[in-house]
Amino acid sequence: MSAEEQGKGGEEAGFMAKSPAEAADSALTKPPAVDEPENRFNLVWRLHVAAAVFMGIQAISYGAIEVDLQLVPTTGFPVYCNAEIAGNDCGGSWNTTPAVRRLDSQNPIWLMSFFCALASADHIATSLYAYYYPDNAKWWLYKAQSNPFRMIEYSISASAMVWAITQLCGIHDVHLIMMLCVGTCLGMLMGLVVEFLPREDNKDDMIASSFIRNFIYTIACFSIFVPWLVIICYFFQGAAQSAPPDFVYAAFLGTLLLFILFGINSYLNRIAKRYDFETAEIIYIVLSFTAKTFLAADVFGGLRAAADDD
């Protein structure tokens, strides 16, 4: 037996000697080696660090600005009309007009600081993971082609942003707000599922991964953007009554456009396959510097203007 065969036999014997738990632990802590193209991994890491600092400064800044804005959330349930009660002469039927109940007032301005703090936390978690576990981070970036930190953060921060936008548009029913936020959250989590699916199809699969990926992506788009139809309806209803200046329309539509940009990046990477995941990740980070910054500033400015009007 040659020395090479003996060495290979020794490696196999050593692997077989490991318990299943040890083998699993080794697979988790020591992923296969990954060669990053042109060492762009360091660029991605530095961008995450810069974005963490940038969004953290914004979170502190928004938290330090005092805005006195008190909005009243409401609930509305149909009322059963009882003829035995004085004044209720509708014959014992359900009244089609819900009884609106006003809850304790709340100041939604904290959502802006929360939004930026979540973004900063996402970049901090990603950069620390890449610093302490570079091989694992490279595996996620170049093999798995997914960033769970980002999509989990998006599911929460995008919901918080939708919540803040509903306050600008005059949506105060807590149950309606909850459904709008939950739809946004689930849509973002479905985006994570899209990233988990294999990028290329396996010819042995009865149902191609691309079909499943496109199907889930479509559902995610409906889950995220159908709630915007409700928001748009309330916005233009309110605009018809108060005649806001032109910049308000531009700011609102710009906010919607920035929401769409994140979906476009996902589409070009996962569906159209125009560029690799590393490029998509860099674009996501750049959007943190641009789109998220504008989103926070735009909505914060709108809420502050509402407080000044009061």
Query: Could you report the per-residue pLDDT of 58-79, keeping only the tens digit for each?
Result: 999 999 988 888 888 998 877 6
| pLDDT (average), residues 257-267 | 91
pLDDT (tens digit, 9 = 90+) per residue, 27-52?
444 454 555 555 689 999 999 999 99
Q: What is the CA radius of gyration of the chain?
A: 25
Q: Which two tokens stand for residue 69?
A: 């804005």
- Longest Cα pair distance anywhere in the chain, in angstroms? 102
In angstroms, how far is CA 197 from the centroid of its own chain?
18
Task: State the CB neighbour count (10 A cutoff) for residue 81.
Answer: 15
Instruction: Identify the structural domains of the chain with CATH numbers, from first to last.
Output: 34-71+106-309 (1.20.1070.10), 76-102 (no CATH)
- Whole-model pTM: value is 0.81
pLDDT (tens digit, 9 = 90+) per residue, 209-254?
999 999 999 999 999 999 999 999 998 888 888 766 666 677 778 7
